[in-house]
Chain A
Amino acid sequence: MKRSLIAAVDLAIIGLILFFIIHYANTKMHESNENQVEAFEKMTVSAEQTITNYLEDEQHLCDIWANYINRSAQAGTPLTGEEAISFIRKAKISPMIYGHLIFLDDSSKKGISTHPSASDPNDYSVSYGNINLFENREKISREVGVVSLTRAYTNPQNGIQSIAFMNYVNVLDEASGAIKEALLMRVEPVSVLEDKFVFLKGEYESVEISLINREGDYLVHGKSLKNSNFFEYYRSYNRLKVADYNEMTKRVTSESGTMTMQNSKGEECVISYTPLRSVDDWFLLAYIPKKDLAANTVVDWLLLGTVILGLSLLIIFNYLVLRSYNIRLTAAAKAANQANEAKSHFLSTMSHDIRTPMNAILGLNEMVLRESREEETLNYSRSIQTAGNTLLSLINDILDFSRIEAGRMEIINVDYSFVSMVNDLVNMVSGRAQDKGLKFDLDVDRNIPMILNGDEIRVKQVITNILTNAVKYTKEGSITFKAGFEKEESKNDSIRLFISVTDTGIGIKAEDMKRMFQAFERIDEIENRSIEGTGLGMSIAQSFLNLMGSHIEVESEYGKGSTFSFALVQGVKDWKPIGDFEEAFKKSLSDRNKYRERFTAPDARILVVDDTPVNLSVFESLLKYTKVRIDKALSGDEGISFYRREHYDVIFLDHMMPDKDGIETLLEMKEISDSPNNGTPVICLTANAISGMREMYIREGFDDYITKPVDPDRLELMLLHYLPKDKIASAKESEVKEEKDIPDFISRIDGLDIDVGLKHCRSSETYLDTLKVYLDSAKGNADEIEKYWDDRDIKNTTIKIHALKSSSRVIGALGLGDLAEKLENAGETGDVKTLEDETGELLSQYRKLAKALEPLNDIRDDGGAKEKPLISKRDLKEAYEALSSFCAAYEYDSVVNIMESLKGYSFPEDEYMRFEALKKAVLNFDYEEIPTILTGGEK
């Protein structure tokens, strides 16, 4: 995990903790605020109770006055207005409280007061004429105990804002002597009521208590609620829809509750409201700024700060501890990496070291298989091949496993022929099955498309593993390979390939199924100890399929057999059905032991650079029948000198070489600007087959690589890919066997098509004899033609040329034959000019061909080299050393003796010419030439 990611996770955790704390604190604060609001509302309700009590008490006092006056009237001794006021004057205790007796029948609403006017101490009259106070006179109750209260108004006598409790009284009208109704008012300054509010505030310092009527007009209001009307004030500073506003006014004037609003300063404040129970249409409002109500409006920053600090310290501590662990872990990881690198290096080295000799073993063995006619030898050779291949596959398994483990296994999709793949698989397995006496059945859907797209190599490897296992673990019975398919519905250009392999082998126990695909697990180890294997095969196969989006399914009955199957999506490049595979296979089966090259390319030229002569020899041998011309170099520097001089179509360059390795050589080659090989593909020859090598070589500038031991098939396929197409010709069926008897030099003769020659002569034996005859007659014929022509004997010249045409064509000298035909025609038509121009050329070519065929004489002289034993290298070396020393000592007799004894041997091809040159030198007594020939200065 990256450090930044750890830091991010740490921060996220801190964030979460802080979020939780803040959220929790907020919730608590919210709850606390809600409680505060609730308590505030309760305070409002209890304030209302207090006010109601007060108002009822005051009304009660007013009622006492009224009762006294009214009872007097009822008793028949009604009081006059003056008497009534006089009574009240005596009854009331506080000087602040006025008693007004108002005669409402008078439009000026005049009456008598307990107090004189402020401006005139003798004036006790009072008038409400200019004060709009008795609009709802009918609402004033005559009942005792019912609060009848005025709004706050200005006491006309003293100009003090007051409220008045009212009741009706009956008094005697002195003028008429009748009893008339008057309104008795107990007038009290609003400030008295306001003073009560001070005690109501309780714990709320900034609370302001107001009383409003239904219209919102204030009876009393604090300094924060402006305007003369609460609702107007509310509307001035709070934007509300009409419906919401009406709802608000309705709530405030009908029930108890709490709401928030903005005051004139834009601050949020809380208003608790409740109706006054004692007085209709009066409502109590308790106002408080929200900030004063909610004491805990902020999170406890000290707590939060401490938590942040604590967490930060924890993180720093953890970071330091982790860092020290990391340093130790890094060291351990480094050591582990070094060990792993050592392992990789070991694998690489092992691979290289094993593969290099394997190249020689398998390559030379291949040559033995190709060339040997001795059945016994061929049997040994086949055993070598089998063991070698087993060893190689074990190494390959280990290398594949290491690739998979390192995650470097890549799936590389290519177009491939399904038939060709199955053919290879069956070829490989059917032989082994046959050897074990097993029946090998094929059931291949004939409609499977011809060309598929997928990782051919891996698919093949998976099936090979399954098939090989089936053969390994089946003692008797049969193995059935089945291939089917269905079209992928989701993809037009794909099929789902079904492959299954059923055997009648030992089967797998249910409890072993799980271990089936585990690396290095071998089931029934004791039972199967004789069977070779690393225990990697199925694990690798399963891994490959997993990489390709599939998996192996196993059905098995212990002791009876198993079926391994898988389904794999493959692209389709050619929907043409493969047809009847079995038939095709059976036919091919009969040819399975025969080698045949895929192509010939006599005009192609390749360069191989390898420090091991045997490898060069093997390489050359493997390509012998393709007729590709090969130049060999034993070191990088030698390779470079070839590279400078000659043009090649492909260059094979060994990686591991002394002095200058393959990569250094390649780099040096690439720096040469004037080489004829700019653009020539360079393929790395390597015994390094561990994972990642391909990428490494491509990165270093190689075009491709091929592993040693060189797989002949793969080598030919690679050349098919890299050689220019115009230099590639298809191989002829018949050549294979016959060609083996035709000396190498003949196939290298320009202008001689061996294929045509062989075709005409039916066998190589006849061909060689024909060539011999051709050669023997060549000199005389040439001389004769020249003579006839010099004499301008056109007729005979033409006859001779005609014979030349035919014989040339028989041996495959087609170019010479064609030229002869042209001159023959010229002779017949008397075209002297053509004869003049081209007879020289004809003779020149004829003689050149004869010259090239001259080694045939040696073969004849040899008396059949094939019967003589091949001289060993050591013997040859000793012989050459002896010849050299005898020549130096002028003991020419000894030289002759040695040469005579050497004639009893056959020579390797590369020494043959040297031996012929030596023979010639001895024959001509040219002993001084011998050391030069021996040192390779002259042939």
Chain B
Amino acid sequence: MKFKKISSILLTAAMAVSLVSCGSAGQKNSAEFSPALSTDTSCSIRVVGSYSNFESLESEFERFYEYYPNVSMNYVYLDDYNNTITSALMSDEAPDIYVTASWMLDDEKMTPVFEKAEVLSDQKLNINLDCIRKGAQWKTESGDTIMLPVFTRSFGMLVNMDLFEKNSLSIPGNYEELVKTCEKLKELGYETPIMGANGTTVAGMYYSFSFPLFCNDVMKNKDSVNALNALEGSAGELMRPALERLKTFVDQGYLNPEKCSEEIEDDYNAVIMRFFEGDVPMMLGSGDMVSGTLKRESKSEAFLSNPFKYKFFVVPSGDEGGYFLNSVNLFFSVNKNSKNLDMTNEFIRFITREEELGNMAAIKRLITPTNDFSLDEVYSSLEGFPQERAFSYRETGLNDAVGKEFRAAAYKVANGMITVEEAVNSYGKLWD
């Protein structure tokens, strides 16, 4: 009896302890950052990368200085980054933090880069990697995290909210509504309701419009991934649904490749500037394109004289809605040989929080790798996006070649160079 009582007390105590620890773990994410090192530590930390300008990171330096005022942080742009980073990591002036990308994992030349990388998932470092979206987390085969996702990108469209509001239109939630909205817009005099760059890049309009739909189909047919990756002709059938919807849109006049070619010269600057003219209800593009909008608002005379509210949405190309296909844009890795490794890791621990990653993403106007989209209103449509329709490109298991084939197929079908049938049949030979 006595023992039973004691064990029940112990059990209760254990539960209480676990609750408390859960509580503190939960709080850690949102709570104020508490420095783990002596705040008067003095040292210099260098971050290298391929961005010529990295203001969002410099902003984080300033925020970090509030805790460690004697730390000096510096961002350095490396010429020919992909070639020089390896040497830089081996030099006497090796950086403490360096930028990495997902493709580097597959590139043998980059092996030394990752050999120098600190394991950020090491429990001792106490870095809260849980705040990163599941689809954005990258781990080595051994399950270690050596790359911290900083920015992610997605594909979708910028919507002119004022234009929709003015015409009492709501944002379409699925394919059917999208068609109806386009029809309505045409009736209202918007000749081509959807525009974008007529090209084969990932920032081009076809990728944003139909590739997430294709990926969703691939996710449902995982066994076809290998054939697709091997560019086997028979695997092209999976492209059909996505290509047909694209073809329908072109045929209905909702998309006009010719007009897009005439009015939009490139897939970045021109897309943004055309959108700021204010008469395009929906502009297809990538998250990278969205990141360029803020700086260009002041460069567009049309936008300055008639500013309007705009937001990013994934294209609702599926029957039940759109697909939030996202991929990591940029990672940070820590040089495990850093002379100031503790402080470097402390900095990584500092930025690996929803608030800091959100802040960086908002400044850069890219998509945060966390699930908190509240810091940038442009991406607010992604807040609470259904998990079943959100996935990362990595989760599809597809390689880059598949993407290229699809982009080529979509471009050729939309521009009337080939039929959907021909595209499906020519899979593997479409990319010129």
A117 & B79 in contact (Cβ 8 Å cutoff): no
A161 & B76 in contact (Cβ 8 Å cutoff): yes
Stretch at the interface among A19-27, A224-232, A374-382, A557-565: A224-232
Among B73, B79, B80, B91, the residue within 8 A (CB) of A118 is B91
A118 & B87 in contact (Cβ 8 Å cutoff): yes
Q: Mark A210-240, 1 if CB is under 8 A from B, else 0.
A: 0000000000000100111100100010000
In the assembled complex, which residues on chain B have CB atoms less than 8 Å from the CB atom of A873?
A: none
Shortest distance from the beta carbon of B345 to any chain A beta carbon, whole Å: 20
A712 to B112, CA, bound (A): 136
Let me know if B93 is at the binding interface, CB within 8 A: yes
B87 & A131 in contact (Cβ 8 Å cutoff): no
Among A132, A156, A189, A264, the residue within 8 A (CB) of B87 is A156
B80 & A131 in contact (Cβ 8 Å cutoff): yes
In the assembled complex, which residues on chain B have CB atoms less than 8 Å from the CB atom of A226?
A: 55, 58
B87 & A228 in contact (Cβ 8 Å cutoff): no
Let me know if A612 is at the binding interface, CB within 8 A: no
A654 to B374, CA, bound (A): 100
Among B72, B78, B90, the residue within 8 A (CB) of A119 is B90
Residues of chain A in range 131-167 having any CB-CB distance to chain B below 8 Å: 131-133, 153-161
A265 & B62 in contact (Cβ 8 Å cutoff): yes
A229 & B87 in contact (Cβ 8 Å cutoff): no
Shortest distance from the beta carbon of B94 to any chain A beta carbon, whole Å: 8
Shortest distance from the beta carbon of B61 to any chain A beta carbon, whole Å: 8
Let me know if B86 is at the binding interface, CB within 8 A: yes
Interface size for A (C-beta < 8 A) is 27
Given the interface pairs A156-B80, A223-B72, A227-B53, the reply to whether A264 lies near B91 with Cβ below 8 Å is: no
Shortest distance from the beta carbon of A497 to any chain B beta carbon, whole Å: 79
In the assembled complex, which residues on chain A have CB atoms less than 8 Å from the CB atom of B242?
A: none
A264 & B58 in contact (Cβ 8 Å cutoff): yes
Let me know if A590 is at the binding interface, CB within 8 A: no
A155 to B79, CA, bound (A): 8
Given the interface pairs A159-B88, A228-B52, A264-B58, the reply to whether A132 lies near B93 with Cβ below 8 Å is: no
Let me know if B92 is at the binding interface, CB within 8 A: yes
A130 to B92, CA, bound (A): 22
B72, B77, B79, B85: which has the most chain A beta carbons within 10 Å? B79
In the assembled complex, which residues on chain A have CB atoms less than 8 Å from the CB atom of B80?
A: 130-131, 154, 156
A229 to B88, CA, bound (A): 23
Let me know if A777 is at the binding interface, CB within 8 A: no
A160 & B91 in contact (Cβ 8 Å cutoff): yes
Given the interface pairs A119-B90, A265-B62, the reply to whether A159 lies near B78 with Cβ below 8 Å is: yes
Let me know if B248 is at the binding interface, CB within 8 A: no
A228 & B77 in contact (Cβ 8 Å cutoff): yes
Let me know if A413 is at the binding interface, CB within 8 A: no
Given the interface pairs A191-B93, A226-B58, A228-B52, the reply to whether A130 lies near B87 with Cβ below 8 Å is: no
Name which residue of chain B comes closest to A236, CB basis: B55
In the assembled complex, which residues on chain B have CB atoms less than 8 Å from the CB atom of A160?
A: 87-88, 91-93
Let me know if B42 is at the binding interface, CB within 8 A: no
Given the interface pairs A158-B91, A160-B92, A229-B53, the reply to whether A119 lies near B86 with Cβ below 8 Å is: yes
Name which residue of chain B comes closest to A191, CB basis: B93
In the assembled complex, which residues on chain A have CB atoms less than 8 Å from the CB atom of B52?
A: 228
In the assembled complex, which residues on chain A have CB atoms less than 8 Å from the CB atom of B89?
A: 159
Name which residue of chain A comes closest to B58, CB basis: A226
Shortest distance from the beta carbon of B387 to any chain A beta carbon, whole Å: 38
Shortest distance from the beta carbon of B337 to any chain A beta carbon, whole Å: 14
Among B84, B92, B112, the residue within 8 A (CB) of A156 is B84
A156 & B83 in contact (Cβ 8 Å cutoff): yes
B58 & A159 in contact (Cβ 8 Å cutoff): no
How many A-B residue pairs have C-beta atoms within 8 angstroms? Tell me: 75
Given the interface pairs A119-B112, A223-B73, the reply to whether A154 lies near B90 with Cβ below 8 Å is: no
In the assembled complex, which residues on chain A have CB atoms less than 8 Å from the CB atom of B85?
A: 159
A159 to B81, CA, bound (A): 9
A157 to B86, CA, bound (A): 10
Residues of chain A in range 103-126 having any CB-CB distance to chain B below 8 Å: 117-119
Let me know if B8 is at the binding interface, CB within 8 A: no
Interface band, chain B: 20 to 34
Shortest distance from the beta carbon of B100 to any chain A beta carbon, whole Å: 15
Residues of chain A in range 177-207 having any CB-CB distance to chain B below 8 Å: 189, 191
A264 & B79 in contact (Cβ 8 Å cutoff): no
A130 & B93 in contact (Cβ 8 Å cutoff): no
Shortest distance from the beta carbon of A232 to any chain B beta carbon, whole Å: 8
Residues of chain B in range 79-111 having any CB-CB distance to chain A below 8 Å: 79-81, 83-94
Name which residue of chain B comes closest to A96, CB basis: B92
A189 to B76, CA, bound (A): 13
A154 & B88 in contact (Cβ 8 Å cutoff): yes
Let me know if B74 is at the binding interface, CB within 8 A: yes
A382 to B97, CA, bound (A): 131
Residues of chain B in range 33-92 having any CB-CB distance to chain A below 8 Å: 52-53, 55, 58-59, 61-62, 72-74, 76-81, 83-92
Shortest distance from the beta carbon of B341 to any chain A beta carbon, whole Å: 19
Name which residue of chain A comes closest to B59, CB basis: A264
Shortest distance from the beta carbon of B104 to any chain A beta carbon, whole Å: 15
A228 to B81, CA, bound (A): 16
Shortest distance from the beta carbon of A158 to any chain B beta carbon, whole Å: 4
Given the interface pairs A119-B112, A130-B79, A131-B79, the reply to whether A159 lies near B91 with Cβ below 8 Å is: yes
A159 & B90 in contact (Cβ 8 Å cutoff): yes
In the assembled complex, which residues on chain A have CB atoms less than 8 Å from the CB atom of B112?
A: 119
Q: Mark A339-360, 1 if CB is under 8 A from B, else 0.
A: 0000000000000000000000
Shortest distance from the beta carbon of A86 to any chain B beta carbon, whole Å: 23
Q: Mark B118-152, 1 if CB is under 8 A from A, else 0.
A: 00000000000000000000000000000000000
A227 & B93 in contact (Cβ 8 Å cutoff): no
Given the interface pairs A118-B91, A159-B84, A159-B88, the reply to whether A132 lies near B62 with Cβ below 8 Å is: no
In the assembled complex, which residues on chain B have CB atoms less than 8 Å from the CB atom of A156?
A: 79-80, 83-84, 87
In the assembled complex, which residues on chain B have CB atoms less than 8 Å from the CB atom of A223?
A: 61, 72-74
A131 to B84, CA, bound (A): 10
Given the interface pairs A119-B90, A159-B89, A228-B77, the reply to whether A154 lies near B58 with Cβ below 8 Å is: no
A348 to B238, CA, bound (A): 130
Shortest distance from the beta carbon of B69 to any chain A beta carbon, whole Å: 11
A154 & B84 in contact (Cβ 8 Å cutoff): yes
Shortest distance from the beta carbon of A117 to any chain B beta carbon, whole Å: 7
Shortest distance from the beta carbon of B185 to any chain A beta carbon, whole Å: 38
B79 & A227 in contact (Cβ 8 Å cutoff): no
A81 to B130, CA, bound (A): 56
Name which residue of chain B comes closest to A157, CB basis: B87
A157 to B91, CA, bound (A): 9
B93 & A154 in contact (Cβ 8 Å cutoff): no
B62 & A159 in contact (Cβ 8 Å cutoff): no
B55 & A227 in contact (Cβ 8 Å cutoff): yes
Shortest distance from the beta carbon of A96 to any chain B beta carbon, whole Å: 8
Residues of chain A in range 250-307 having any CB-CB distance to chain B below 8 Å: 264-265
A264 to B363, CA, bound (A): 14
B87 & A117 in contact (Cβ 8 Å cutoff): yes
Given the interface pairs A131-B79, A154-B84, A223-B74, the reply to whether A161 lies near B93 with Cβ below 8 Å is: yes
A117, A154, A157, A236: which has the most chain B beta carbons within 10 Å? A154
Name which residue of chain A comes closest to B82, CB basis: A130
Name which residue of chain B comes closest to A264, CB basis: B62
A480 to B86, CA, bound (A): 128
Shortest distance from the beta carbon of B110 to any chain A beta carbon, whole Å: 12
A227 to B77, CA, bound (A): 10
A229 to B77, CA, bound (A): 12
List of 7 A-B pairs having minimum Cβ-Cβ separation, nearest first: A159-B88, A159-B87, A130-B80, A118-B87, A154-B79, A159-B84, A131-B79
A-B contact pairs, 10 of them (CB 8 A): A119-B87, A131-B79, A153-B79, A156-B80, A156-B84, A158-B90, A160-B91, A161-B78, A227-B53, A227-B55
- Inter-chain pairs besides A131-B79, A159-B87, A159-B94, 16 sampled, C-beta below 8 Å: A118-B91, A119-B90, A130-B80, A154-B84, A156-B79, A158-B90, A159-B86, A160-B88, A160-B91, A161-B93, A223-B72, A223-B74, A228-B77, A236-B55, A264-B58, A264-B62
Using a CB–CB cutoff of 8 Å, the interface residues on chain A facing chain B are 117-119, 130-133, 153-161, 189, 191, 223, 226-229, 232, 236, 264-265
